[in-house]
Chains A and B, each alone.
Chain A
């Protein structure tokens, strides 16, 4: 606790995991996890149920101690420097762990005091977080009487009272109605603009795609992807792919295109007459693909580099079934 406090810098990763393994008795929850979360970014953490998301979040927030490997938050090891790490992060678990018998103000005041904020500072901090989460008008309400969305806001306000550099949010939007979800995303955007690093675990992929700068996909205790959101959407496993829009449904012409030299696969895009054409870049370029389509007798009305939806990327990178 006496060593100089490293300040977050935009070039320094906020979180670094290296070779992390964790088991619960015989069950290997994390096999060999390594990834970085850039500082001041909004990082999505995605994976099927039982993939190990919550375990990773609990390791980062010091609730679990890594059995193998290292986890560092702003350069601090979570195993040895856990008190300092706790000072600099806020964790919102996936369940509503709240003192529901308290009023909103009592609850936030309690955590502010528990983090060691002096009384004079607390009033200002609480006013700020209540304003940010739009809960100022409900400060005297008992938490027990609040709706799920409101309770989620109070939970978010709670993790903000100690002004953490990094926020870990485990499924913050689960069970919220569309309005509450959209409002929550707005709050997260506002927090990102304040320079906070936010790691958000969620199943709502469309919102993550819109919100996050970077993403980690985890499945069966291993990292399947870690990088920028754009990189994931552009990412192809083996071959470059273009999306082709024909004037009429392809029917038999699809096979004909597939047989052309250099074309690796032609897949239908669900819900439209478009096809995704993957090709071998050593034999063809995009012009060659367009030429092959016209040679196959297809009237092309649209042709562009295929960008996968996050859903598709998720399905491609994760395996069927749960552990």
Chain B
């Protein structure tokens, strides 16, 4: 019975997946991307010593990036989506065991990822023909990537079992991956700095370096570099493959063991009151809605209101204060410039991360709680409603902007000469600003279509082709080409604005 249930789940998921045009379009898009690599290498073949290896390396890194995306959005929602739809109980009542549900939900997604990898096979053969890469390397690389896919599936199964909501599961997956990827750098940096300060011995530093190396070798981030080295003749069953497969299996088993405990009670999901909950209901009911009601709503319920902004400002200030102290201890000259530069760079990064996250939630939350149609029935144009919502979330960026401004005051030279004149004007920073604005638009559009993962998908759709372009043809491209692309980007952004408004109107009536 359980096996039949599992097969039914797998079959249904595969059928649905096959019927969706989106699935085939993604595969086609992926094949086209690889074709782009091949064309790129072919055009400048004289500059490549091993063109086949370069094509294959690009393919591997794109695969690795996509597997991370799949981990964050595709696998991390595997059980939480059933929890949110309140359908998990129905599956249990149909007699499907926990392991049956887990297998039935994880397997089709894993197969989907494998199918996505399989569209590359013809190009892989082409890579061998182009030269510089052997069949053993290709085999080892794919084994490494598949093992990582299994790890992602296991991690997704575990986190989506223990988390109540997809958003939390996706956030924890992101945090886990970030920790794994950042840890080696932190260990190396800590070892180097502490040794320089004579706090640790050479042996301890080497131990930290070895630990960093070990952690790095548990993901394709480290193993692919080894595999793609000229003359590689190692076994495909590398340390990374064994660790990833073991961890994937262990996480899956943990998900199975904890399944009953974390899925026993189905609860209807409700929108969070957030920081507004800190006040008593009496106080909340006495404070009146502003005349700009939409701004009031999103300011309080999407960004968390004044409380959240004050907390964020304090957190940024404490963090930046600590960093400034560290810098002032380490650096002997131009302390203020260094501190100011750090504040500005950190807050710019924070803004780059915060903006798409908030904007992806701007309309998604309205759609999720089916409130969008009521909002669009107000006697206001769609643009006015959208602008009201934007004005509501804008204060969420104030803490980062305030700290950035402090940085600009501390280091005005860095702001003017380096950040503005050099990065923005001379080093094509404007190009990346335009691309970023387009990415934000793509993310908002995706947030109206997909339930989860709009941010990583939006970033990947815009950033990956740009990175590839800049790393290859765009590196030495004349300004006229960059300006033309900039103009196209601006026009595409306008087109996305139109698409967003159209989609919002369509969604209001559904």
Contacts and interface: CB of A to CB of B under 8 A. Distances in A.
Interface string B369-383: 111111111111100
B270 to A, nearest CB: 5
A97 B289 contact: no
Interface string A196-233: 00000000000000000000000000000000000000
Nearest to B371: A97
B281 A99 contact: no
B271 interface: yes
Interface residues of B, number: 35
B297 A140 contact: no
A141 B282 CA distance: 9
B285 A105 contact: yes
Nearest to A98: B371
A154 B274 CA distance: 22
Nearest to B272: A101
B31 to A, nearest CB: 29
Contact of B271 (A99, A106, A111, A139): A99
A115 interface: yes
A174 to B, nearest CB: 15
- Most chain A CB within 10 A, of B293, B301, B378, B379, is at B379
A276 interface: no
Interface string B292-313: 1110110001000000000000
Contacts of B297: 99, 110
Interface residues of A, number: 39
B284 interface: yes
Contacts of A63: 373, 376-377, 508-509
Contacts of B284: 103, 106, 140
A118 B379 CA distance: 15
B291 interface: yes
Interface in A220-269: none
B285 A106 contact: yes
B282 A140 contact: yes
B289 to A, nearest CB: 4
B271 A114 contact: no
Contacts of A96: 370
Given A99-B371, A100-B270, A109 B288 contact: yes
Contacts of B508: 63
Nearest to A64: B509
Contact of A113 (B273, B274, B290): B290
A85 to B, nearest CB: 8
B66 interface: no
A74 interface: no
A63 B292 CA distance: 22
Contact of B293 (A86, A114, A141, A142): A114
Interface in B238-263: none
Interface string B344-370: 000000000000000000000000011
A91 interface: yes
B276 interface: yes
Contacts of A114: 293-294, 375, 378, 380
Nearest to A99: B371
Contacts of A102: 273, 301
A275 B375 CA distance: 53
Contact of B296 (A113, A122, A144): A113
- Most chain A CB within 10 A, of B301, B370, B380, B509, is at B509
Interface in A80-105: 83-84, 86-87, 91, 93, 95-103, 105
A58 interface: yes
A133 interface: no
B500 to A, nearest CB: 18
Contacts of B291: 113, 118-119
Contacts of B276: 101
B374 A97 contact: yes
B289 A113 contact: yes
A109 B291 CA distance: 10
A100 B509 CA distance: 21
A83 B370 contact: no
A110 B288 CA distance: 9
A58 B289 contact: no
A64 to B, nearest CB: 5
Contacts of A141: 281
Contacts of A91: 374, 377
B299 to A, nearest CB: 12
A62 interface: yes
A266 to B, nearest CB: 49
B281 A140 contact: yes
B296 A58 contact: no
Contacts of B282: 140
A106 B289 contact: yes
B378 A61 contact: no
A140 B290 CA distance: 18
A163 B381 CA distance: 20
Contacts of B377: 61-63, 86, 91
Nearest to B372: A97
A119 B289 CA distance: 9
A93 B379 contact: no
Given A84-B379, A93-B374, 11 more contacts: A63-B376, A63-B508, A93-B370, A98-B374, A99-B301, A101-B272, A106-B284, A110-B289, A113-B291, A141-B281, A158-B374
25 contacts: A58-B509, A63-B509, A83-B380, A83-B381, A97-B372, A97-B373, A98-B369, A98-B371, A99-B301, A101-B273, A101-B274, A103-B284, A103-B285, A106-B284, A110-B296, A112-B289, A113-B292, A114-B375, A114-B378, A114-B380, A119-B288, A139-B285, A141-B281, A142-B273, A144-B271
Interface of B: 270-274, 276, 281-282, 284-285, 288-294, 296-297, 301, 369-381, 508-509
10 smallest beta-carbon distances between A and B, as pairs: A113-B293, A114-B293, A101-B273, A97-B370, A86-B379, A63-B509, A109-B289, A101-B271, A87-B379, A113-B289
